[in-house]
Amino acid sequence: MKQKETLLNIRLNGDKIELSDLMIDDMGDNHVSTSVDTPMRKDAFDLSDDEKVEKIEQHFTAIMETLGLDLNDDSLKGTPRRVAKMYVKEIFSGLNPANMPVMAMFENKYKYNEMLVEKNISFYSNCEHHFVPIIGKAHVAYISNGTVVGLSKLNRLVQYFAKRPQVQERLTMQIGKQLQKVLGTEDVAVLIDAKHLCVASRGVEDDTSSTITAYYGGKFKEDKTHNEFLRYLEIKSEF
C-alpha cells in the first residue's frame, strides 16, 4: 500500500483518533514526531526509580523468554536486571525532570558580546520508534544579553534531552528552547548531525547517511549571524 493510501487508514472511536497498524509503521519508518514535548503520561512518576527497575526487569524477562532465550545461562540470567537499570538510571534518565542539570548563570563582567559556540558535543540517544541508538554531535551557540552559563552546562543540557526516547527534530528544538529560557535571550542556535541505527541496522539498512537538523532564534535568523555560526563549525580544531 502506498504511503498516501495509509494516511487514509484512520478511524474515529468516540473522541479518539485511532491509527491503523500500517499507519503506525509508516510514521515510525519515516521518523515522524507528534509534538515538541516528549509524550508523557500523567502518572509517569508515580513509581520510584527502583520500582520501575523491578517492573521493567519482569517485562524484559518475559521478552527474552518469548524470544526463546535460556535465562538459566550464566551470560543471560542477569540481563533483564541490567537492562532495567540501564533504562531507568542511564539511557532514559532524561525523562525525569529531577535530572535536569542546574544551569548556574553568571554576570557577563568581561562584556563579551560576541557569539559563543560549543562545538562537537557528543551524545547518545534512542529512536522512539524502534528503541535503537542515535549517535551524534550537537553544536550550540548563543549571544549573551548580560549573563553567561558555564560551558559544561551546555554539554549536560544536550545529554539531558538526549537521554530519552527521541526524534531528532524534537531533540534539536528542546535544547534550543530550553537554552532560550535559561539564558533569557532569543539569540540561540543549535545544529545536530546524527546517525540513526534504525536507518543503518534495519529497514533501508543505509550505514553511510546522517541527519542534520537546526534551530535558530533571534539574531541567528539573520543571514550575517547565521553564516558566521556555520563558518565557525567549519574551523578544524587542533585538540
**Number of other residues whose CB lies within 10 A of the CB of residue 26:** 19
Helix (H, G, I), strand (E, B) or coil at 205: coil
How far apart are alpha carbons 124 and 152 in whole angstroms? 17
Report phi then psi at 55, rounded to 5: -70, -45
Nearest to residue 193, comparing CAs of 213, 207, 176? 213
The residues that are catalytic are 127-130, 168, 196, 198
CA 228 and chain centroid, separation: 26
3-class DSSP assignment, residue 181: helix
